[in-house]
Amino acid sequence: MSIIGLDGLQVRLGGRTVLDGLTGELHGKAIGLLGPNGAGKSTLINTLLGFHTPSRGTACVFGLDSRRDRARIRQSIGYMPENDSFIGNMTGVRFVRYMAELAGLPRAEALERAHEALFYVGLGEVRHRNIDTYSLGMKQLIKLAQALAHGPQLLILDEPTNGLDPLARQRMIHTLQEIRKGGSIRLLISSHLLRDIDETRDEVLILKDGRIAALSNIEEERRSHRNFMELEIMGSADEFCDSLRDLGCECACFAGGRVKLVMPDRMEPRDLYVMASRHGLQIRRIHRRRDSLEDIFMRAMDADSARGELVRL
């Protein structure tokens, strides 16, 4: 079963189409949601939570329809919003306990879970302090704690490192990586910072103008490029490239001794050195290409148009 399933999803707000024809399935342990401002990221999150009703199509979480099953979906989701939404004059533990009760936990269990969640995110020592006295980094962490307290299956985080200093950001990223490694909670992380997504995700959904620009499993994407090599050689490359083609390589030669090639699965980089030696050449540099998240994002943004269907890069 997919974590999130979209089938022709359209959402109109104020007479304007904000999301248009989103179709695709997401299965990753940690899903990154990317896109420029106004791309529709927050609208998609609010639709999954049941706050916006689809104008057409469906959005599902763990097979539950956001239109019909919103109460069950919310019980299975922990939500960390971008903006602060605290209740005045509450201590940290009282706030997290209250949010756990709203999620359906009995009062005693909610209190126990609140203490556990606050210690888990590193706020155990300050849990009895008023939230108004917390720093910005501590406020981000308590938003994470309240999202975790009721034991969700899916954790949705909207700009989790927003406004954090480098140390606080590192602490937040480390916590999210630990949650991901645990495996019991899936993550959907929305951020405008590519580095945040790159450090925490294994699948990415990129939106552009309310449509899907790309949906990609990053590790599969990178594995598909494992045999793409770039070489710098000393000597004549023509015969070298001809020999590589005879071995099944796709090969192209460029000025300055540059060679780009795609090796068949049976070949290893050491085979290139053996072939170079046979032709009396020297390989000065060898580089195995690995697409970065930035490469994938920029290709999605540079596409002439995003049609709304699932696009595999």
* Amino acid occupying residue 40: G
Q: Enumerate the CATH 3.40.50.300 domain ranges in the chain, comma separated.
A: 4-221+297-302
68-88 pLDDT per residue, tens: 999 999 999 999 999 888 988
Q: With helix as H, strand as E and coil as C, how does the chain read?
A: CCCEEEEEEEEEECCEEEEEEEEEEECCCEEEEECCCCCCHHHHHHHHCCCCCCCEEEEEECCEECCCCHHHHHHHEEEECCCCCCCCCCEHHHHHHHHHHHCCCCHHHHHHHHHHHHHHCCCHHHCCCEHHHCCHHHHHHHHHHHHHCCCCCEEEEECCCCCCCHHHHHHHHHHHHHHHHHCCCEEEEECCCHHHHHCCCCEEEEEECCEEEEEEEHHHHHHCCCCEEEEEEECCCHHHHHHHHHCCCEEEEEHHHEEEEECCCCCCHHHHHHHHHHCCCEEEEEEECCCCHHHHHHHHHHCCCCCCCCCCC
- Residues 121 and 291: their CA atoms lie apart, in Å, by 32
Confidence of residue 219 (pLDDT cuts 50, 70, 90): low
pLDDT exceeds 70 at position 161: yes
Dist. CA 120–CA 142, nearest whole Å: 10
Answer yes or no: are the C-beta atoms of 147 and 80 closer than 8 Å: yes
Q: CA Rg, the chain, in Å?
A: 24
Task: Tell the burial category of 189 from Cβ atoms under 10 Å away from its Cβ (0-12, 13-18, 19+).
Answer: buried
Tell me, what's the pLDDT at 23? 96
Residue range 43-49: average pLDDT?
Answer: 95
CATH T-level fold of 226-288: Alpha-Beta Plaits (3.30.70)
Handedness of CA 51, 57, 61, 63 (dihedral sign): positive
Cα distances (Å, whole numbers) of residue 86 to 142, 146, 159 = 10, 11, 17
- Two tokens, residue 277: 């030696």
Looking at the chain, the whole-number percentage of residues with pLDDT higher than 70 is 92
Average model confidence (pLDDT) for the chain? 88
Is the pLDDT confidence value at 166 over 50?
Answer: yes
pTM over 0.85: no
Domain 4-221+297-302 annotated CATH 3.40.50.300: yes
Q: What distance separates the 2 farthest-apart alpha carbons in the chain?
A: 78
Q: Where in the chain is the domain with CATH 3.30.70?
A: 226-288
What percent of the chain lies above the pLDDT cut of 90? Answer: 58
Most confident of 119-128, 186-195, 212-221: 119-128
Q: Sheet harboring 258-262: ordered strands across?
A: 250-254, 258-262, 228-234, 282-288
